[in-house]
């Protein structure tokens, strides 16, 4: 088995959870190679394949062969750099396995072939919404704005900024209102995290997206927008690439959510029972508070008026705008109430004692 690619190998029956573990430890290559016992390539799985599988309703127990691309683009070992780049560009791929005698012996990817090339998304501005009062977390938020609440020994907002910085996203706006001075004092200009922070201050509560209306005209390219109370390891760069490549007006990060009804659910047609299902579990996608918006979408937001993201998305859909659905399979937690806060604090204490290398794009 070739040593330089064997860490990318998965068997056809390995579940999606194990495929994800491989994808998250590829050092930025971003592909798992589905092979048989002879190291012959059966298919490939990328981050996009996993997200599409989740959109199709597949579970994390699905085997690799059920979600893989069974007709991957490959090249022969010894192909020139120009030939490999041409294949990658023609087929809009980031990686290409190299084959010799039917076996996978190496892999090349765009960033490796073009060392100076940077992902299209890294220059994007990011707006973090930090203006909420954190009512459900009182009394914790009486004297501390929610984004500065410590989780695992470090403020939520600091973890968000560090995650952006690790992925090369450095132009950050903080939309502040409640106890704004404390946030500005703690974060400063962002130099300590290797980012550049600017502030937009709401004179009144402007809802979940109204603060963006204050930045209309300043944001001239697709902007990443995050709620300021999130703990997540999402690959923002993947979301941004998805948004740009698919040509969406707005892209919405979503997380899977399941709810079990504690009773038997009765389906009725007229006066007759047609089905009885005992304690069914329903699966949904819920809004993760992570978005990408084009500048012309931001221009729809009224200036200095209360406006929620739900209003904006429904307005955009009513105008036949294209809204992208981006499933998030990475760690994600919204700190909305005391129980969520306790979960995040429990989760992040062990994480804070280990390297964050996995969070790189």
Instruction: Provide mean pLDDT across the span 16-21.
Output: 85
For residue 92, is it left (φ>0), alpha (ψ between -120 and 50) or beta?
Answer: left
- Beta strands 223-227 and 281-293 are antiparallel
Residue 310 reports pLDDT greater than 70: yes
Task: List, as one string, the DSSP characters of 329-346.
Answer: -S-EEE--SHHHHHHHHH
Output the six-digit token pair for 169: 């996203």
Q: How far apart are the first and last CA of the chain?
A: 27
| Residues 25-35 pLDDT 10s | 765 677 888 88
CA atoms within 13 A on the CB side of 67: 33
What is the spatial distance between Cα 240 and Cα 224, in angstroms, rounded to a whole number?
8
Closest CA to 111 of 237, 18, 223, 21: 237
> What tokens were used for 260?
């079990």
pLDDT for 357: 40
- Pairing outcome for strands 264-269 and 272-278: antiparallel
Question: Which domains are present in the chain?
Answer: 6-113 (3.10.580.10), 125-359 (3.90.550.10)
79-128 pLDDT, tens digit per residue, is 777 777 777 777 777 788 888 877 887 777 665 555 434 444 457 899 99
What digits encode the pLDDT tens for the residues 190-241?
A: 999 989 999 999 888 888 888 888 888 888 889 999 999 998 888 898 899 8
Alpha-carbon span 358 to 361, nearest angstrom: 8
Mean pLDDT of the 37-42 span: 86
Centroid of chain to Cα 133 = 25
Residue 227 has what pLDDT?
92
Cα–Cα distance measured from residue 221 to residue 51, given in angstroms and rounded to the nearest whole number: 25
Beta-carbon contacts of residue 350 (< 8 Å; ≥ 6 apart): none
Q: What is the pLDDT of residue 1?
A: 37
pLDDT for 289: 93
Which 3 state secondary structure label does DSSP give 2?
Answer: coil
Q: What's the confidence (pLDDT) of residue 100?
A: 81
pLDDT of res. 338:
84
Looking at every residue in the chain, the average pLDDT score rounds to 83
pTM to 2 decimals?
0.71
Instruction: Determine the pLDDT at residue 359.
Output: 40
pLDDT at 299 > cutoff 50: yes
User: Is residue 331 pLDDT above 50, yes or no?
Assistant: yes
At 27 the pLDDT is: 59
Q: At residue 356, does pLDDT exceed 50? A: no
Residue 349: pLDDT band (50, 70, 90) is: low
pLDDT tens per residue, range 160-183:
999 898 888 889 999 998 888 999
- DSSP class of residue 58? -
Confidence at 293, pLDDT banded by 50, 70, 90: very high
Residue 360 CB neighbour total at 10 angstroms:
12
pLDDT confidence of residue 122: 58
DSSP β-ladder status, 150-151 and 154-155 = antiparallel
Q: Residue 107: phi, psi to the nearest 5?
A: -150, 145
Residue 53 predicted with pLDDT over 50: yes
Percent above pLDDT 70 for the chain: 91
Count Cα atoms within 13 angstroms, Cβ side, for 218: 14
Predicted confidence (pLDDT) at residue 243 exceeds the cutoff of 60 = yes
């Amino acid at each position: 088995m070739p040593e330089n690619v064997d860490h990318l190998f998965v068997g056809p029956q390995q579940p999606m959870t194990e495929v994800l573990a491989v994808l998250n430890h590829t050092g930025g290559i971003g592909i798992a190679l589905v092979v048989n016992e002879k190291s012959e390539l059966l298919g490939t799985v990328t981050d996009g394949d996993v997200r599409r599988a989740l959109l199709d309703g597949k579970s994390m127990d699905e085997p690799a062969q059920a979600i893989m691309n069974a007709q991957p683009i490959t090249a022969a070992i010894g192909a020139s750099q120009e030939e490999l780049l041409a294949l990658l560009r023609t087929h809009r791929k980031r990686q290409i396995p190299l084959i010799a005698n039917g076996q996978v012996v190496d892999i090349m990817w765009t960033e490796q072939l073009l060392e100076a090339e940077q992902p299209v998304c890294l220059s994007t501005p990011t707006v973090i919404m930090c203006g909420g009062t954190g009512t459900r977390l009182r009394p914790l938020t009486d004297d501390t704005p929610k984004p500065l609440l410590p989780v695992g020994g470090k403020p939520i907002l600091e973890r968000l900024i560090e995650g952006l910085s690790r992925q090369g996203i450095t132009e950050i706006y903080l939309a502040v209102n409640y106890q704004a001075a404390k946030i500005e004092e703690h974060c400063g200009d962002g130099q300590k995290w290797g980012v550049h922070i600017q502030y937009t201050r709401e004179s009144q509560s402007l809802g979940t997206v109204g603060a963006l209306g204050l930045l209309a005209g300043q944001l001239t390219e697709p902007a990443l927008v995050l709620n300021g109370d999130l703990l997540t390891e999402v690959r923002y760069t993947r979301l941004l690439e998805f948004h740009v490549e698919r040509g969406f007006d707005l892209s919405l990060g979503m997380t899977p959510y399941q709810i079990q009804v504690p009773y038997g659910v009765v389906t009725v047609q007229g006066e007759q029972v047609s089905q009885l299902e005992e304690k069914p579990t329903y699966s949904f996608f819920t809004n993760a508070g992570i978005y990408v918006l084009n500048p012309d979408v931001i221009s729809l937001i009224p200036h200095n008026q209360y406006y929620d993201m739900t209003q904006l998305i429904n307005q955009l859909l009513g105008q036949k705008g294209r809204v992208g659905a981006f499933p998030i399979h990475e760690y994600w937690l919204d700190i909305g109430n005391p129980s969520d806060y306790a979960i995040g604090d429990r989760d992040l204490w062990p994480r804070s004692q280990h390297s964050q290398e996995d969070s790189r794009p």
